């Protein structure tokens, strides 16, 4: 048998801080009017972010002492705007790069483009920023150190400021601790919170999980967007599309076999947009580990479109209780803040 020389052995691939993925958008990616679901785009964004951050932590980490193989898990998604729509038949092109590293986390920036390959037109549809933590493959709940990304001094300062800001927001964000209310079996009055409130139940299977049997963050975001979209459609009774998602913190990993229950309820309606709060609760069903916990919560904003895909007025949201009025006041503050952010 011929022996191979050291030069014949596979060599580690050099890490390049840029990754692209393209995919043709199919009919099952979109609603009945041909608009690609926001949740589909969020899932693609998370997938490319997980790939590049896992590659970085392993490719660069091999050069460091005490290296452990690891897999990147989504910890937080910053506020994401949907700048332009994407349609069936277009090609989605995602570009990702690492923009900052802390000792225990990786920041990934993702741009999403839509290309009409027939007309040769290309447009930017989304920009997103995500934070990942590397977990050792030996014990998937244990975070391992992140190799430092070498950046120019000014970029390092800006990255540190973003890291400190997201850490502050994660620890001081308003956490929804209330359990979703059980609705009456009687039909609710149209345009009320109860009428639009939607609950989805999903049993986490193998296709929803990474190689280590925990649900992928992109799968959860897709389900949350779907729940929010149904609630918005019930209120507006038109074609609706996602225009933004506020920051999402993922508090705990959800294992395979868990029951994920998502509840979406309208909180605030402006003239042209509707805010939906989505709460994702997980229940571990294994007899030896049975427990419930809050997996994630976020605010999604949708707009209503006419048959020509132009924004139209949102029906006013009828508020029946003091709690609903309080949520609406808080939603209005978030709405005004988003307007100010867009203006800048």
**pLDDT digits 0-9 by tens, 31-63:** 989 999 999 999 999 999 999 999 999 999 888
Rounded alpha-carbon distances, angstroms, from residue 45 to 28, 58, 77, 90, 129:
18, 20, 10, 17, 9
Please check whether residue 263 is in contact with residue 199, taking contact to mean a CB–CB distance below 8 angstroms: yes
Classified as helix, coil or strand, 43 is helix
CA 217 – CA 154 distance, rounded (Å):
31
Tokens linked to 168: 């502050």
Of 31, 81, 111, 213, catalytic: 31
- Could you tell me whether strands 248-249 and 121-136 are parallel, antiparallel, or unpaired per DSSP bridges? unpaired
pLDDT in the model for residue 2: 47
The DSSP bridge pattern shows strands 311-312 and 291-305 to be antiparallel
Tokens of 75: 């910890």
**Catalytic residue of the set 208, 225, 246, 281:** 225
Query: What are the DSSP calls for 106-140, one per residue?
Result: EEEEEEEEEEETTTTEEEEEEEEEEEEEEEESSST
Helix 38-59 and helix 217-236, axial crossing angle in degrees, nearest 10: 170
- Tokens for 299? 């605010």
Taking only the tens place, the pLDDT of each residue in 285-343 is 987 778 999 999 999 999 999 999 999 999 999 999 999 999 999 999 999 999 888 87
Active site residue 225: yes
The residues, any chain, with a CB within 8 Å of residue 220's CB and separated by 6 or more, are: 250, 254, 260, 280, 295, 296
> How far is C-alpha 328 from the geometric centre of its chain's CA atoms?
24
Segment 197-214, tens digit of pLDDT: 999 999 999 999 988 899
pLDDT value for 343: 78
pLDDT of residue 182: 58
According to DSSP H, which parts of the chain are helical? 38-59, 153-172, 193-196, 217-236, 322-343
For strands 121-136 and 105-116, give the pairing.
antiparallel
Residue 133 makes CB contacts below 8 A (sequence gap 6+) with 72, 73, 75, 104, 105, 106, 143
pLDDT for 169-202, tens place per residue? Answer: 888 765 555 666 655 556 779 999 999 999 999 9
pLDDT at 13: 60
What per-residue confidence (pLDDT) applies to 140? 78
What percentage of residues in the chain have a pLDDT greater than 70? 92
Q: State residue 23's pLDDT score.
A: 96
End-to-end CA distance of the chain: 68
- 28 part of the active site: no
Query: What pTM was computed for the model?
Result: 0.89
**Percent of the chain at pLDDT exceeding 90:** 80
Cα 70 vs. chain centroid, distance in angstroms?
Answer: 21
- What confidence category does residue 1 fall into, taking pLDDT thresholds of 50, 70 and 90? very low
């Amino acid at each position: 048998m011929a022996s191979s020389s050291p030069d014949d052995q596979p060599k580690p691939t050099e890490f390049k801080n840029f990754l692209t993925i393209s995919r043709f958008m199919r009919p099952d990616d979109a609603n009945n009017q041909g608009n690609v679901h926001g949740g589909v785009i969020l899932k693609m964004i998370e997938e490319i972010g997980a790939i590049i951050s896992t590659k970085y932590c392993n490719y660069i980490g091999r050069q460091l002492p005490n290296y452990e193989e690891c897999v990147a898990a989504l910890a937080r998604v910053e506020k994401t705007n949907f700048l332009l729509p994407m349609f069936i038949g277009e090609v989605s092109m995602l570009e990702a790069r690492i923009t900052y590293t802390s000792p225990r986390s990786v920041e990934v920036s993702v741009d999403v483009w839509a290309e009409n390959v027939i007309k040769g037109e290309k447009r930017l549809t989304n920009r997103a920023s995500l934070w990942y933590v590397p977990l050792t493959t030996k014990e998937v709940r244990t975070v391992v150190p992140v190799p430092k990304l070498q950046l120019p001094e000014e970029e390092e300062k800006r990255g540190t400021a973003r890291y400190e800001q997201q850490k502050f927001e994660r620890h001081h964000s308003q956490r929804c601790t209330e359990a979703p209310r059980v609705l009456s079996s009687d039909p609710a009055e149209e345009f009320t919170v109860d009428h639009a409130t939607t609950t989805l139940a999903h049993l986490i299977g193998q296709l929803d999980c990474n190689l280590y049997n925990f649900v992928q963050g992109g799968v959860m975001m897709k389900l949350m967007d779907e729940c929010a979209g149904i609630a918005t459609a019930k209120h507006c009774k038109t074609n609706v599309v996602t225009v933004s998602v506020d920051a999402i913190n993922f508090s705990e990993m959800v294992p395979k076999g868990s029951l994920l229950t998502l509840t979406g309820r309208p909180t605030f309606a402006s003239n042209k947009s509707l805010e939906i709060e989505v709460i994702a609760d997980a229940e571990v069903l294994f007899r030896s580990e049975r427990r419930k916990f809050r997996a994630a919560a976020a605010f999604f904003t949708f707009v209503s479109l006419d048959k020509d895909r132009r924004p139209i007025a949102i029906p006013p949201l009828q508020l029946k209780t003091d709690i609903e009025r309080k949520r609406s006041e808080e939603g209005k503050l978030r709405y005004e803040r988003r307007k100010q952010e867009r203006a800048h």
